[in-house]
Structure 1
Amino acid sequence: MTDRPHHIVLRAVQALPDFRRLLELRAVSQFGDGLFQAGLVGALLFSPDRAATPWAIAGSFAVLFLPYSLLGPFAGALLDRWDRRQVLIVANVMRLLLMIGVGALLATGAADLPILFGALIINGFTRFVSSGLSAALPHVVPTEQVVSMNSVATAVGALAAFVGANVMLLPRWLMGAGDASAAVVIWLAALPVALALWLSVRFHRHLLGPDDSVRAVHGSVTYAVVTGWVYGIRSVVNVPTVTATLAGLAAHRMVFGINTLMVLVMVRHGSGEHVAGFKVAVVFVAAAGIGSFLANVVMPAAVRRWGRYTTANGALAISALVQLSGSGLQLPVLLVCSLVLGTAGQVVKLCADSAMQLDVDDALRGHVFAVQDSLFWMAFILAITVAAAVIPADGRSSTLMAAGAAVYLGGLALHATLGKRTRTGGTV
């Protein structure tokens, strides 16, 4: 009797104790992040006491993610200089303290700006954790298992974030849509972050890297940080498989930004009841999350069959067609689109992760993951800001949906052209 695929994966995870500990850390960290982000969105965008115009939505995302996106590659250099275990410990300590503070601001009815500022710093430390975990994965997994175990790690993380985001519905249902329930959610999010801190301490020193090599950035820490963007971009450009997949990933994030704004404006202004509107938004997020989870099942088999290059090309082509099919702006159709686009976008993301984990020297891997994270959010913010300038008051725009399909086709063209330069059989 042949073993089922999930039994094989489970045995592989059990045979890698350090990877299993990394998986536990990712799960609790992303559970806390999902709970925190959902609580923040509920407080700022779906509170009866706060405005949520398209520009306010775009501005909130920009304040939360743009500053770190610009500074991330500078700070990301530290992931290739300092013991990544130590970085995880410090980042989780700061997340824990700041979440307690943001919860206190919400409990006292503070204005949006100090809450956004606190959340901005929390998101910066969260990016440290996520980039550090991705960069460290090849240290706890044999090279031939990196693609499959990265899919397992991403699936577990996505599921944990999804569960965390939905846990916030309970205090919101019990206490209403005001700042008091939002504060409780933020304080609840601090609990898994505290657990993530404890799990970070359990790793042995230097187990997670970085390795020193001739390609490492030598010199002072200040020099490494100041040149973070330079070395990060140079590393991306020098590895065409990474350049190609990041181009495709940027296209997906831009379309995700457009669609996010449209859905938020539609549900925020299409219902007179804030809790109902928030529930509709949660359904869309859930569909995308389920799609992301499915991608972690599909991607390893697709890569084995067609290779990374063809798999990412196919995902981008399917995304363009699905995006165009949603131009009628019917909510049930958009829900299906969210599911499929979540799957296809995560496939591209996994291909990008695999390229960075397999094709980039460990001494520069933190730089490259930081550049990816910055590109991830800058593309999202650029798209949501441009969309805010042209979106109608009710959020319904077939033109924006068609523009999203064009962006996907542009990403497909870039990926197909750049990735073809180093295509070698089925391995790229």
Structure 2
Amino acid sequence: MVLVCGPYRGAVSNQANAKTPHPRGHVRAILARKDFRALLGTRAASQIADGFFQGGLAVSVFFNPTSKIEPFAYAIAFAMLIAPYSVLGPYVGVFLDRWSRRNILAVSNLLRALLVVPTALVIFWGGPEIVFGSFALLVITINRFVLAGLSASQPHVVEREHLVTANAFATTLGTICFGAGLGGSYVVTRLAEGEYAYALASGLAAPLYALSALIAWRAFRPMYLGPDEFERHTGRVVEAIVETTKGMVAGFAHLWQRRGAAYSMTVQAAHRALYGVLTVVTLAVLRGHFHDPSIEDFADTLGWLAGIAAAGQVGSFLSALITPRITRWWGPGRWVTALMLLVGVTIAGVAFAMWEPAFVAATLLINIASQGTKIVVDTSLQTTVADEYRGRLFSLNDTVFNLSFVIGMFAGASLLPSDGYAPDILFGVVVGYMIVTVWYGLISTRHRPY
């Protein structure tokens, strides 16, 4: 099925055979559209809020000087928050392919704004962990609707030939906004003290979630972002959930017919699993091996984490600049293969050095690879999957994306010493990336992502 972009179907058809413009022309074209800018604003406000909320949450749990954390605790904490959120993923598509995506974005962010308030209060008062964890789980789970909804809506606000640039621009801006939120939460926790600082950093997410909801509600008509009327599912939601359970086989079959998209999702899943190992190693080694025990409040650790976060945002930004041009010139399959090779070589350097600045530099390069791969995968799903399946397959992709990360964290935590110093594990990760590089380099020549 030919992908169309809602009200702009005619424009897509008329321009399908047009000469590909210069990359700057793509950027001008997408930014000229008011609807794209509005969706971008919805994403930006939401992901800045995510950064504040999750940053305050992480510092209060992992870097609270009153708590003692072992490496396995990182994996358990992430699993508790991500696994339920991810298992629900395919069912989000039921709603994205059936209900107004504008309404889903607005209502989901409004609910999160309301839920952040009691979460921050529980952090401040030091309430029971089960209450704190339940509120946090709800806020993060609802994010599933927002991220999948933003991705599924994108083809309705840009023409087909601009999708790769739009994905590069939107997802990278989202990552940078998330990093800005993390940076803001770090500043708050350094300026304020104790539980008040953690609660304030998390609580600042509430007005930003509300702003995101307002932008989506005011900028779009109810069905503007899809699903398209001729592809929209109807009927009872409960029946649809049952049918979705049965229909996952059909969804996989639909994806399998688009081998390029399926293989690009697979390589991203492998990358995320290995990235999970890297994450738990980084957290553990900064909190353990590199931490100066004479400093009570982990100021040194948080300083290096701030540097890592900043390097990650720079890497995401650079990836947004170069990925659209390179994929058009070199091809998306070759680009992803090169990115996996880049990560493998980078991690080998970190394993040899085991030095704080090496982790910062490596984060910049790894984020170039992560963001570039995500841009390719998103574009592959948007351009090769029919709109009637797009919502559920984006949700499925998010599920695989997150569960792979959690699996990687558990694998790394099960092997790590308590202080996190484990260059041998990093060399094992290098071997994993080399295998992925060779496999995808061969398979992508026969099955291009798009």
Classify the TM-score, shorter chain: over 0.9
Q: Deviations over 1:369-405 (max 9, x none)?
A: 1011111110110011111111012101112111212
* 1:422 aligned counterpart, secondary structure: coil
Q: Quote the Cα distance in structure 2 between the aligned partners of 1:413 and 1:364.
A: 30
Q: Deviations over 1:28-73 (max 9, x none)?
A: 1111111111111111101112332111111110011011111111
Shift, 1:101, TM fit: 1.3
* Residue number in structure 2 paired with 1:261: 280
Q: Deviations over 1:113-155 (max 9, x none)?
A: 3222211111111121111011100001011111111111112
Shift, 1:219, TM fit: 5.0
Q: Quote the Cα distance in structure 1 between the aligned partners of 2:92 and 2:236.
A: 14
* Residue number in structure 1 paired with 2:70: 53
* Residue number in structure 1 paired with 2:373: 348
Q: Deviations over 1:318-352 (max 9, x none)?
A: 22222222212222222211111110121111100
Contact 2:92/2:144 (<8 A) preserved: no
Shift, 1:7, TM fit: 6.2
Shift, 1:294, TM fit: 1.1
Q: Which amino acid aligns with 1:381?
A: V
- The normalised TM-score by structure 1 is 0.93
Q: Quote the Cα distance in structure 2 between the aligned partners of 1:38 and 1:165.
A: 5
Gaps of at least 5 residues in structure 2 are 1-21
* 1:280 aligned counterpart, secondary structure: helix
Q: Which amino acid aligns with 2:370?
A: G
Shift, 1:213, TM fit: 4.8
Q: Quote the Cα distance in structure 1 between the aligned partners of 2:301 and 2:34.
A: 43
CA RMSD of aligned residues (A): 2.0
Q: Quote the Cα distance in structure 1 between the aligned partners of 2:141 and 2:307.
A: 27
* Residue number in structure 1 paired with 2:361: 336
Contact 1:243/1:418 (<8 A) preserved: no
Which stretch of the first structure deviates more once superposed, 363-372 or 284-293?
284-293
> Structure 1 residues 110, 78: closer, same or farther in 2, change over 3 A?
same
Alignment of 1:226-305 (within 5 A): 226-228=242-244, 230=248, 231-269=250-288, 270-271=290-291, 272=293, 273=295, 274-305=298-329
Contact 1:228/1:367 (<8 A) preserved: no
Aligned sequence identity (%):
30
* 2:187 maps to which of 170, 176, 189: 170
Contact 2:267/2:440 (<8 A) preserved: yes
**Are 1:391 and 2:403 an aligned pair?**
no
Q: Quote the Cα distance in structure 1 between the aligned partners of 2:363 and 2:267.
A: 18
Q: Quote the Cα distance in structure 2 between the aligned partners of 1:241 and 1:250.
A: 14
Q: Which amino acid aligns with 1:255?
A: L
Shift, 1:211, TM fit: 1.8
Q: Which amino acid aligns with 1:192?
A: L
* 1:396 aligned counterpart, secondary structure: coil
Q: Quote the Cα distance in structure 1 between the aligned partners of 2:75 and 2:31.
A: 43
* Residue number in structure 2 paired with 1:112: 129
Q: Deviations over 1:354-375 (max 9, x none)?
A: 1011111111111111011111
**Are 1:419 and 2:444 an aligned pair?**
yes
* Residue number in structure 1 paired with 2:335: 311
Which stretch of the first structure deviates more once superposed, 151-160 or 373-382?
151-160
Alignment of 1:20-39 (within 5 A): 20-39=37-56
Contact 1:74/1:227 (<8 A) preserved: no
Q: Which amino acid aligns with 2:282?
A: V
**Are 1:220 and 2:239 an aligned pair?**
no
* 1:190 aligned counterpart, secondary structure: helix
**Are 1:184 and 2:200 an aligned pair?**
yes
Q: Quote the Cα distance in structure 2 between the aligned partners of 1:357 and 1:195.
A: 27
Gaps of at least 5 residues in structure 1 are none
Which stretch of the first structure deviates more once superposed, 118-127 or 60-69?
118-127
Shift, 1:419, TM fit: 3.3
